[in-house]
Amino acid sequence: MIETAREFLSQIDNYPVSSNLEKCLVNSDRAIFILHDQLNLDVFPVELLAQKPLLIFVESLAYATVIPHHRQKLVYILSAQRHFAIACYQQGFPVFNLFTEGSHADGLAEILKQYSNIELTYMSPSEWNTRSQMAELKNKFGDRIKSISNNFFIADVDKFKTKIKKGYRLETFYRELRKQTGYLMEDSQPIGGNWNYDKENRKALPKTVTIPEIDEVSLDIITQEVIALVQNYLPNAFGKLDKFIYAVTRDRALELAQLFIETRLANFGAYEDAIKVGEPFLFHSVLSIYLNNGLLLPQELCEMAIAAYQQNLAPLNSVEGFVRQILGWREYIRVYYEAKMPKARESNHFEFSNDLPQLYWDGNTDLLCLKDAISHVLDYGYSHHIQRLMVLSNFSNLTNTDPRQLNRWFWLAYVDAYEWVELPNVLGMSTFADGGILASKPYVSGGNYINKMSNCCSQCKYDVKEKVGETACPFNYLYWNFVDQHRESFAENGRVSLMVNSYDKKPEHEKQEIRQSAINFINVISS
């Protein structure tokens, strides 16, 4: 009977004392390091696993505390890893779980020093820092360490990296991957005749639409133990921990994926850009969390969605939109990260220098759209993508916030955030910090667009129809001020360049009021 992760792991004499490691090594000196975001043996080469080598898991305090990650993110990473270690043990693998105050590589170095016969294989980490640390370890221990390429993605990085450096755009990349995989293709043409159905996917949410409940997960003893661990030992972590709803095993994640296909995928496309106060999930899948640590694989999610389309369970606009997020966007930004790091971390095209406003940390604001989005982040380490983009990133841009601070916040605040995925989204897509490599224009909008896509404004203290002054929606004057200040970023961009013309046509007194309202607001928010 397994009562706790610690007790279970001590039953197999592997936890947490490294001197017990030799008991795992009676049959072989071969070991594989399994990183916390590589929790799926299906993508490891079969020949590597055939002899049931020792699997080493590392719990790194340095990784957990390098930034004050959201409490739920720490619980998720640790609990999923412990559950996976146990599942591997149940499949007959010897399993060793090491706790270290240092990095993953520091922990592995201790093992390699102590046991000179061990030969270690690892899969190349997705995140830059961990990969650099592992590369140093490899240099230090030479032939005893072998790395294999990361198989958790669909696109071949080496094939696309140079192309993306030269300006290869998302749409071309996506079409190439559609052809490569055959997803939603018929005789080399896209099913339905179009490559995307974005025009059908920008609907506001009607009052009559019922939003399905998110299926919650009962917390087993292992997760409960990890929650206590995080509460007790990592007091500086961000966010709340009283509503942990995430699956921590592949079986449960697969059930949640199936539930999404059955209950939310059909409406996902139409309402993917909608916001409703108090609704963190709407019709979004909330599966990126499992995708980004390997519990679910990108191919299987695309294929589940395509099967739903073939069975008439979901329309093409929803299925194509879902497939595009995974096969197009997710794969593209991963190659972008590989192509642009580590320089990408310093991106700050507009040279903004304001600190991230305090409201991102405590949600204390009267701007309802912001308050709502941040409350979801505090409660769940999650908000859906349009709140991330249209509210949180938009506001950061409009208040001239240093995008690197926003980038750090997204990295620590979201359960699904690893640097390879959030950095391109924040410094490339949503803040234009890379100067237009990933996005064609800065992502900014006034209150009108938020009002069109949400029900926030009717309940907000500010008036979305007012343009300037104390009671006016701050997004309005901040937006026009931004257009004026950064007109060169809009001027050559077709439809958006019209906004510069619209601003220029405003009477001088209105421009003056816009400028003054923006200055006043930014001064207050930054103080």
Instruction: Choose one: 1-9, 89-97, 459-467, 513-521; the region binding ligand SF4 (CB under 6 A).
Output: 459-467
No. of helices (H) and no. of strands (E), the chain: 27, 7
Is 321 or 442 the residue whose CB approaches ligand SF4 more closely? Answer: 442
Is 125 or 447 the residue whose CB approaches ligand SF4 more closely? Answer: 447
Instruction: Choose one: 34-42, 84-92, 303-311, 450-458; the region binding ligand SF4 (CB under 6 A).
Output: 450-458
User: Pattern 467-506, binding to ligand SF4, x per CB under 6 A?
Assistant: ------xxx-------------------------------
Q: Checking DSSP bridges between strand 189-190 and strand 185-186, what pairing results, if any?
A: antiparallel
Q: Is residue 205 within a helix (H) or strand (E), and if so which, with residue range?
A: none
**Residue 255, both tokens:** 């059930």
Candidates 335, 392, 444, 450: give the one binding ligand SF4 (CB under 6 A). 450
Q: How far is the CB of 24 from ligand SF4 (least distance, A)?
A: 56
Greatest extent of the chain over all pairs of C-alpha atoms, in Å: 82
522 touches ligand SF4 by CB under 6 A:
no
Q: How far is the CB of 474 from ligand SF4 (least distance, A)?
A: 6
Candidates 457, 468, 514, 522: give the one binding ligand SF4 (CB under 6 A). 457
Is 417 or 464 the residue whose CB approaches ligand SF4 more closely? Answer: 464
Q: How far is the CB of 477 from ligand SF4 (least distance, A)?
A: 11
Q: How far apart are CA 509 and CA 240, in angstroms?
A: 46
How many residues bind ligand SF4 (CB under 6 A)? The answer is: 14
390 touches ligand SF4 by CB under 6 A:
no
Q: How far is the CB of 512 from ligand SF4 (least distance, A)?
A: 22
- What SS3 class is residue 469? coil
Q: How far apart are CA 458 and CA 209, in angstroms?
A: 18
Q: How far apart are CA 217 and CA 220, in angstroms?
A: 9
What number of residues does the chain have? Answer: 527
* The 119-123 sheet, strands edge to edge: 95-100, 54-60, 30-33, 119-123, 145-148
With beta carbons less than 8 A apart as the criterion, state whether 391 and 369 touch: yes
Q: How far is the CB of 202 from ligand SF4 (least distance, A)?
A: 17
**Residue 2, both tokens:** 């397994």
464 touches ligand SF4 by CB under 6 A:
yes
74 touches ligand SF4 by CB under 6 A:
no
Q: What Å distances lie between residue 420 and 98, 190, 390, 393, CA to CA?
A: 25, 29, 21, 18
Is 283 or 479 the residue whose CB approaches ligand SF4 more closely? Answer: 479
Q: Is the peptide bond before 424 cis (omega within 30 degrees of 0)?
A: no
Q: How far apart are CA 31 and CA 55, in angstroms?
A: 6
With beta carbons less than 8 A apart as the criterion, state whether 75 and 53 touch: no
> Residue 376 carries which side chain, given as an amino acid letter?
H
Q: Which of residues 334-373 bind ligand SF4 (CB under 6 A)?
A: 367-369
Candidates 184, 460, 483, 514: give the one binding ligand SF4 (CB under 6 A). 460
Candidates 447, 499, 503, 514: give the one binding ligand SF4 (CB under 6 A). 447
Site for ligand SF4, rule CB under 6 A: 367-369, 447, 450-451, 456-457, 460, 462, 464, 473-475
